[in-house]
Amino acid sequence: MSTLWVVVPAHQEAARLGSTLTALASQRDRHFTLIVVDNASDDGTSAIAREFARSAPFPVHVLDEPEKGVGCAVDTGFRYAIHHGAVFLARTDADCLPHAEWTAAARAALEGGAGLVCGRIVARRDEHGPLGRAGFRAMVAIAGFFGRMRPAHRRHHGYLTSYRMHAGNNMAITAQLYEAVGGMPRRPSPTDRIFMNRVRRRTSSIVHARDMVVENSTRRLRAYGVVGTARWYLGQGPGRHRRDPR
C-alpha cells in the first residue's frame, strides 16, 4: 500500500487536467496513490480523470465533491486518503505541472522529519514568455516578504515559527499533522494563509523544499491584474471581478 497519496482538486478543468495527469505520470517516484476530486464540474473533468485511471502507472481514485470550494475538495480528498491508510499527503492543482522530482522531494522532506513542506512555484512556460515569468517570480517574492512582515503573522500571536510563503498547489504534509490542525478550511479560495497559520500554531517543523517544484498557472494574474490578485490573496475579494478564473 502507498504511504504517499497525492490529491488534485479540480473544478471545470477539462482543458487542463490532462497535462497535470501527464506530469504526475512522469514522476521519478511513482510509488503513490492519486486522488482527483471533481468539485462540481459539468465539463467532463471527471471523465478525463476516470479515463486516465484505466492506464495510469499508479492507483487512481476519482471522487465527487458537490460542495463548491477548493478547501472542500482538498479536505475531502485528504480525509479519504487518511481513511485508506495514507501517512503522507501531497497536493497540487489541476492547472499545474509538477516537475519530475516533485513526489520524490516531497517524500524525502516528510521522511526527514518535516511536518509541512512548502514547495517552490514558478510560472507555467506555456502561458508566458521570459518577461512574464520574471514578473511572476517578483510577485511571489513580494508576497512572501509581505507575509513575513505582516503584523498579524508575528510570533506573539501564538505562532511557533516565522511565516513562510505557502502555495496550496505545491504542498505536502503528514497525515498526523493534518488531522491535528483540523484540516483544510472547507471554503472557497483563498485557503492557503489560513491553513499555514493553523499549522504554525501547532508546530515549527515547516520546511521549504526548493527541489519540490510546480509550474503554476497565471490565469488569475492575467484576469485580475497585479492589484486585483493581491486583493484576492489577502481575502479582500476580487474587486470589480466577479468570477474566479480558476
The pair phi, psi for residue 134, each rounded to 5°, is: -65, -40
Q: Give tens-digit pLDDT for 200-231.
A: 999 999 999 999 999 988 765 665 555 555 55
Q: What is the pLDDT of residue 84?
A: 97
- Pair 192, 166: CB distance under 8 Å: yes
- Helix and strand totals (H; E) in the chain: 8, 8
The reported pTM is: 0.85
User: What domains, with CATH codes, occur in the chain?
Assistant: 4-184+196-218 (3.90.550.10)
- Mean pLDDT within 28-46: 97
Amino acid at 13: E
- Give the separation between CA 149 and CA 166, rounded to whole angstroms: 15
Q: What is the pLDDT of residue 150?
A: 63
Closest CA to 39 of 184, 228, 193: 184
Cross-strand partners of 122: 215
Rank 35-44, 150-159, 230-239 by mean pLDDT and report only the highest.
Answer: 35-44
Q: Give tens-digit pLDDT for 107-151.
A: 999 999 999 999 998 988 887 677 666 666 666 665 655 555 565
Question: How sure is the predictor about 246, in pLDDT bands with cuts at 50, 70 and 90?
Answer: very low
Q: What is the pLDDT of residue 241?
A: 44
Cα distance from N-terminal residue to C-terminal residue, the chain: 33
Pick the range with the lowest mean pLDDT from 40-49, 162-171, 176-185: 162-171
Peptide bond just before 190 cis, omega within 30 deg = yes
- Mean pLDDT within 36-60: 97
How many degrees, rounded to 5, is the angle at CA 136 between CA 244 and CA 78?
55
Q: What is the pLDDT of residue 192?
A: 87
Q: What is the pLDDT of residue 218?
A: 75
Q: What is the pLDDT of residue 166?
A: 77
